[in-house]
Amino acid sequence: MRILLGVAIVAALAYLFVVALLFAGQRRFLFPANAERTSAAAAGLADMEDVAITTEDGERLVAWWKPPRPGRALVVYFHGNGGSLWNRRDRARLLTEGGRGLLMVSYRGYSGSTGSPSEAGLRQDAMAAYRFVSGYEPRRLVLHGESLGTALAIWLASQKPVGGIILDAPFTSIADVAQPLFRFVPVGLLLRDTFRSIDRIAEIRSPLLVMHGEEDGVIPIALADRLFAAAREPKRFLRLPGIDHVGVLESGGMAAVGRFLGEVESGLEAGENRPISRGG
């Protein structure tokens, strides 16, 4: 009995140690930020410019910017939790074809932006991006979220009016994504940053496009199904057979995005394009 008791105590202590490590290091896992800065020119985006956006709490965010031509949509892009702006350079080219505008902002701690990431901080970053484009009518603005960025797009669209929202590989909450990976850990009780999109998706009244790869091994498509079911109309869901987590836009999604943006643009008149307020 003493041996069994000793083994149980050692196992319990080891378990608590692992849980403590996960709790202490969770933001390093959730936000594997690449802090290296790359200019738009170095990324081969000659028609885009580097801008700096200041958040309400004083952080300075790096962003790539291209204003839209008259009658074209303006996409505000929120990237995923890994990599940097450099990794999204091809997407920047795709999204700005035909004169569409783009603001691709780098979160605090990423790509040369100051600060350290957290859910509350990234929400401030998203709001700062919205203020930057506030010189344009809301119905011209389309929020495009990628993976973690879908939570920011959903949150922002629940706070501010927009013309549409595109979700690339969305999820219901971080706990739902992480729990299968840590089956014996009470993930929901330990998380500092929950990103519970499932609680906010029904607040969005703008047209919605959800895209998800059926072979996504990072965020199961079942989570996107649950999120989509909770969303209001008008909405549509593009399921991409054989596509994993990172290839949604490039492997069939861009055609759907183009049609979606075209529908947003169909309600815009050529003379509605307005100069942006650069107060940021």
Tokens 């836009």 belong to 249
* Whether residue 144 lies in the annotated active site: no
Q: Could you tell me if 99 and 242 are in contact, meaning their C-beta atoms sit under 8 angstroms apart?
A: no
Percent of the chain as helix, strand, coil, to the nearest 5 = 45, 15, 40
* Whether residue 216 lies in the annotated active site: yes
Q: Where are the beta strands (DSSP E) in the chain?
A: 49-54, 60-66, 74-78, 101-105, 141-146, 164-168, 208-213, 235-240
Short-list 177, 238, 170, CA closest to 204: 170
Instruction: Catalytic residue, from 125, 168, 176, 216: name it.
Output: 216
Three-state DSSP at 59 gives coil
Characterize the bridge pairing of strands 60-66 and 235-240: unpaired
Instruction: Catalytic residue, from 111, 113, 147, 197: name it.
Output: 147
Q: Where are the alpha helices (DSSP H) in 108-215?
A: 119-132, 148-159, 174-178, 187-190
* Whether residue 79 lies in the annotated active site: no
The catalytic site residues sit at 147, 216, 245
